[in-house]
Amino acid sequence: MSHQLVIVLDFGGQYNQLIARRVRECGVYCEVKPYTTPLAQLKAMDPIGIIFTGGPNSVYLDSSPKVDPEVFTWGVPILGICYGCQLMAHLLGGRVTAAQDDSAREYGKTETQFDTGCALFQGLPDTGVTWMSHGDYMERAPEGFALTAHSSACPTAAIADEARGFYGVQFHPEVNHTQHGTDMIRSFLYKVCHAAGDWTMEDYKRTAVKALREKIGDGKVLLALSGGVDSSVAAALLAEAVGGQLTCVFVDHGLMRKNEGDEVEAAFSKWALNFVRVDAAERFLSKLTGVEEPERKRKIIGEEFIRVFEEEAKKAGAMDFLAQGTIYPDVIESGAGDAAVIKSHHNVGGLPDHVDFKEIVEPLRLLFKDEVRQLGRELGLPEYLVARQPFPGPGLAIRVVGEVTREKLDMLREADAIFREEMAASGQDQYLSQFFAALTNIRSVGVMGDGRTYDYAVALRAVTTDDFMTADWARIPYNLLDRVGVRIVNEVKGVNRALYDITSKPPATIEWE
């Protein structure tokens, strides 16, 4: 089944993926394409609408990215955002210049007034906050365009030629800081492009299963299952499609959270696939003995994973396809059609040279992370796996500061489990992007009962973020932190102190190593 398509034409904006996610959230399928994509190729895709993204350049410079003006002759609606708005104005005869003074430049939250007669703003308040980020100024709108929004510094905050379906906004409706921004995008999709809203994960599951069966036939598929969201949903989708033709290799390196290995295995018990769980904990721990430097830990774990997977792939015998959990952000960031190669090296460390795969299968390569999670729910995966927070590939090895030992891992697992249990019981887990415990390399004096202790300190970390590029430390209620701290010190042998990390990213990273 084919879906209606909106093309997001990327001019180098930092929010290109976010625009595409907002379109998908509105029930409309879209793809991000570079502005250099030949016009004939874009036209052949038969889009119902096109969105020009923002970008860091100035449209009036000869070196700035452009699009063939023929795009405006198709009769396809176009929405220009920030640079995209200025580009539309520039190519259609308007005038864009550098702002002559600071008052014409706008950055950050800006009170904006809207013409609610314009299709983009119908049904919305006539005043709201938008997120501006532009140093250039649209001095004159093109002929035929009405001014449909303004701020105190910018009379051309939005423009529209509704007869031709062309709209431009100087602000960023895709970011959360813009009030009703998603509603504006939805209005463009449904009121202007007349979208049917035919993009759902229920439909994707049905069509993907059919396509996988046709592609794989009676072939055999091998997948490296990490237990993360992407690889788990890929495994479930393939299991739904080809069942016993799928072999999943789950390398249990002994660096997972409490009960996590058992939970991953249990999640796949409903499917008739070949689930291979490799208990490699001793093997990984022996390689990490005496190693304290974080990057060395990462490298050792990555290389050892490759070796274990290669050995298991050889035991599995001849395979026709290697399955990967590549998702759409990976494809966008790779830029070209070689995303499979980039991702395969990232996930598996390269194809085992003794296994002759015909092809790589990437059943999630069209999906964003939130769509992957929803697809997992459609497939019947448990919520504890589908809603799993980001977890580093090296696992708890980089949440144990310094040398990794079995004793330290056991302490950390118990402390982390207590933290997660209390967060879930309080409901705080619903509001936070990521939270976990780390075992520091600090030992300090304490008093427990009538005796002196000299034990480890556990650091608790919780953050809120939209994109994980930056993050703010979470203001957890004191009474919750008190319960967690008391339980950890009382219940985890070898720990006599609990700390709460109040450092944002930057300057810190989210993980401790």
Catalytic residue among 3, 134, 172, 253: 172
Query: pLDDT tens digits for 188-237?
Result: 999 999 999 999 999 999 999 999 999 999 999 999 998 889 999 999 99
Residue 475 belongs to a domain with what CATH number?
A: 3.30.300.10
- Tokens at 287, concatenated: 């390689």
Reply yes or no on whether 82 is catalytic: yes
CA terminus-to-terminus distance, the chain? 46
| pLDDT over threshold 90, residue 68 | yes
Residue 223 belongs to a domain with what CATH number?
A: 3.40.50.620
Q: Is residue 454 part of a domain?
A: yes
Query: pLDDT tens digits for 90-137?
Result: 999 999 887 665 544 556 688 999 999 999 999 999 999 998 876 678
| pLDDT over threshold 80, residue 378 | yes
Query: pLDDT tens digits for 248-291?
Result: 999 999 999 999 999 999 999 999 999 999 999 999 999 999 99
Q: Same domain, yes or no, for 224 and 100?
A: no
Q: Which of 109-118, 304-313, 350-359 has the lowest mean pLDDT?
A: 350-359
- Reported as type and span, the H/E element at residue 282 is helix 281-288
Q: Is residue 511 part of a domain?
A: no
DSSP helix/strand/coil, 339: helix
Print the domain residue range for 489.
Answer: 399-500
Kindly report the average pLDDT of the chain as a whole number.
90
CA distance 260 to 435: 16
CA distance 402 to 85: 51
Last residue of a domain, one of 340, 365, 386: 386
Catalytic residue among 106, 174, 240, 371: 174
DSSP helix/strand/coil, 310: helix
Q: Same domain, yes or no, for 177 and 263?
A: no
- Tokens at 273, concatenated: 């696939």
Catalytic residue among 26, 30, 82, 85: 82
Q: Same domain, yes or no, for 155 and 247?
A: no
Reply yes or no on whether 422 is catalytic: no
Strands 146-151 and 136-140: unpaired
Last residue of a domain, one of 358, 386, 414: 386
Are 418 and 482 in contact by the 8 Å Cβ rule? The answer is no
Q: Same domain, yes or no, for 380 and 422?
A: no
What residues contact residue 29 under an 8 Å CB cut-off, 6+ apart? 3, 4, 5, 6, 23, 198, 199
Residue 134 belongs to a domain with what CATH number?
A: 3.40.50.880
Q: Is residue 505 part of a domain?
A: no
Are 86 and 80 in contact by the 8 Å Cβ rule? The answer is yes
Are 303 and 272 in contact by the 8 Å Cβ rule? The answer is no
Query: pLDDT tens digits for 214-224?
Result: 999 999 999 99
| pLDDT over threshold 90, residue 167 | yes
Q: What is the DSSP string of 190-228?
A: IIIS-------HHHHHHHHHHHHHHHHTT--EEEEE-SS
DSSP helix/strand/coil, 61: coil
Count Cβ atoms within 10 A of the Cβ of residue 351 and give its class: 0-12 exposed, 13-18 middle, 19 or more buried: middle
Reply yes or no on whether 85 is catalytic: no
Q: What is the 3-state composition of the chain as percent helix, strand, coil, each rounded to the nearest 5? A: 35, 25, 40
pLDDT value of position 333: 67
Q: Same domain, yes or no, for 342 and 223?
A: yes
Q: Is residue 125 part of a domain?
A: yes
Q: Is residue 296 part of a domain?
A: yes
CA distance 54 to 83: 4
Q: Same domain, yes or no, for 173 and 261?
A: no
Are 30 and 75 in contact by the 8 Å Cβ rule? The answer is no
Q: Closest Cα to residue 88, out of 150, 168, 19?
A: 168
Say how many domains are in the chain.
3
Q: Is residue 160 part of a domain?
A: yes
Q: Closest Cα to residue 82, out of 213, 171, 163, 209?
A: 171
CA distance 242 to 416: 37
**Sign of the CA dihedral running 240, 246, 247, 248:** negative
State the helix-helix crossing angle for 229-242 and 201-216, rounded to 10 degrees.
60
294 in the Ramachandran plot: left (φ > 0), alpha (ψ -120 to 50) or beta?
alpha
Per the DSSP assignment, residues forming a β-bridge with 456 are 443, 495
pLDDT value of position 17: 87
pLDDT value of position 376: 96
Q: Is residue 509 part of a domain?
A: no
Q: Same domain, yes or no, for 377 and 440?
A: no
C-alpha 74: how far from its chain's center? 33
Q: Same domain, yes or no, for 351 and 236?
A: yes
335 confidence band (pLDDT: 50, 70, 90): low
CA distance 181 to 121: 10
Q: Same domain, yes or no, for 20 and 149?
A: yes
Q: What percent of the chain lies above the pLDDT cut of 90?
A: 73
Q: Closest Cα to residue 349, out of 376, 313, 310?
A: 310
Q: Same domain, yes or no, for 188 and 205?
A: no
pLDDT value of position 245: 95
Q: Is residue 457 part of a domain?
A: yes
Q: Same domain, yes or no, for 62 and 164?
A: yes
Query: pLDDT tens digits for 429-461?
Result: 999 999 999 999 999 999 887 788 999 999 999
Last residue of a domain, one of 192, 209, 238: 192
Q: Same domain, yes or no, for 34 and 150?
A: yes
* CB hemisphere CA count around 458 (13 angstroms): 30
